[in-house]
Amino acid sequence: MKDNKDRDEVLAAVKEDGWILEHLDESFRKDKEIVIAAVMQNGWTLQLVDESLKKDKEIVIAAVKQSWNALQFADKSFLKEEQVSASNLNEESREGGLWALVNADESLSLHKDREIVMAAIKEDGAEVLEYGDESLKKDREFILVVVEENAIAFQFADESLQKDREFVLAVVKQAAVTLQFADESLKKDKEIVIAAVKQAGGAFQFADESLSLHKDREIVMVAVEEDGNNLEYADESLQKDKEIVMVAVKQAGSALQFADELLQKDKEIFMIAVKTYGEALEFANESLQKDREIVMVAVETYGEALEFASKSLQKDREIVMVAVEENGLALEYADESLQKDKEIVMVAVEQDVDALDYASEELQNDPEIIESLDDWYNTQVESKYDWEDGFATSKEY
């Protein structure tokens, strides 16, 4: 390729692969049109161009837009005299867009370029906005686009936007997490908080406590409808509210752990919770852990909930069978008498071979069970390997 004098052919080639520049005649590395085409295809190729073109602002910007690392190959005049010390930025940032923004000389105007700052945010994350030009931090349209890409970047938006009620309302509807970066006065604004919570229930935790929004039944109801586990952030008085708790556990059975103790003992509520979250049996009182109907629902959902069932129900053959069908390892919590039950052990081992560890010693050495394990291992090997001419060759996935 280095002997090729056909400029049109060279230009077409570097548009496909900028690295071809490495093998070209020196005259081509001084050709601005060819060099721009090369760095636009791969910014790293800036290191290959003639020194005179490393001082060309248009070429440097084209290279940096394609790859942030290209800045290190530009003429030193494009770097600040006093660069940020390595200790101020992590290794990833020094290698990416943040490094370029921090170290670029003002003459490049990288900090003011919407396209460049947005590309840097996509590459290096929200903190890039901190080093963007103040004009961009105040730009409503730009910040909306930034928040859509990376919501936590709102923390670096200009304070005027963080205090702007109309703007914050629009932003939280787009990304609820931005509520935590809004001005404190707006965290007390009920309309804004509800809008954020409707977008994502987790925003509930960012609401200001001084207005007692955590005691506001309407807001709490919206929050638990979005995510039942938001019950954790509700005031104690609302954790005692049966309707709210009912909505919360319907949305997420795990929310039961945040309900008032009396409601944790409510069979109606508890039954709803264990249908989606068998682990809830752990939070049940003794009377519910003895309730056969509840325990059966719990182990159907989560076999190892058998651990929290009463001793009498751990001896219940039907319940234990359901538990090991869902998760063979539930055999660990079965009564010793059922760990000797061959049918139950077979079912458990078929579900999870490690369940054999919890079977009685006699059944651990049972020929029929051992044979079933051999069949299981053979199935695993066959699924992993192809057999050719008597030899196993690993399949590629």
Mean pLDDT over residues 386-391, rounded? 47
Partners of 104 in beta bridges: 79
Tens of pLDDT, residue by residue over 60-116, are: 888 888 877 788 888 877 776 544 344 344 444 445 566 777 777 777 777 888 888
pLDDT tier at 380 (50, 70, 90 boundaries)? Answer: low
Q: Name the domain boundary from 78, 100, 132.
A: 78
What backbone torsions phi and psi does residue 388 show, to the nearest 5 degrees?
Answer: -130, 120
pTM greater than the 0.95 cutoff: no
User: Structure tokens of 304?
Assistant: 């190892």
Question: Token match 């049972």: residue?
Answer: 366
In a domain, 242, yes or no: no
Q: Name the domain boundary from 19, 54, 78.
A: 78
Strand, coil or helix: what is 223? helix
In a domain, 46, yes or no: yes
**Structural domain boundaries enclosing 33:** 1-78
Q: Return d(Cα 99, Cα 84) in angstroms, integer.
A: 9
In a domain, 324, yes or no: yes
Mean pLDDT over residues 194-200, rounded? 86
* CA 199 to chain CA mean position, Å: 17
Reference 182, options 162, 158, 212; nearest CA is 162
- Output the CA–CA distances (angstroms, integers) from residue 283 to 242, 245, 252, 298, in the order listed: 17, 15, 14, 12
In a domain, 131, yes or no: no
Q: Return d(Cα 95, Cα 181) in angstroms, integer.
A: 28
In a domain, 212, yes or no: no
Q: Are residues 177 and 203 in contact, defined by beta-carbon separation less than 8 angstroms? A: yes
Q: Which of 44-48, 127-131, 148-152, 391-395 has the lowest mean pLDDT?
A: 391-395
In a domain, 53, yes or no: yes
**What amino acid occupies position 37?**
A
User: Structure tokens of 163?
Assistant: 């205090």
Q: Return d(Cα 150, Cα 178) in angstroms, integer.
A: 10
Residue 330's pLDDT is 95
Q: Are residues 228 and 250 in contact, defined by beta-carbon separation less than 8 angstroms? A: yes
pLDDT tier at 375 (50, 70, 90 boundaries)? Answer: low
DSSP type of residue 284: S
Q: Name the domain boundary from 47, 78, 109.
A: 78
Tens of pLDDT, residue by residue over 290-330, are: 999 999 999 999 999 999 999 999 999 999 999 999 999 99
**Better-predicted residue by pLDDT, 155 or 283:** 155
Strands annotated E in the chain: 385-388, 391-394
> How many domains does the structure of the chain reveal?
2
Mean pLDDT over residues 369-390, rounded? 58
Tens of pLDDT, residue by residue over 240-289, are: 999 999 999 999 999 999 999 899 889 999 999 998 899 889 888 888 99
In a domain, 346, yes or no: yes
In a domain, 66, yes or no: yes
Residue 97's pLDDT is 62
Question: Token match 């660069």: residue?
Answer: 83
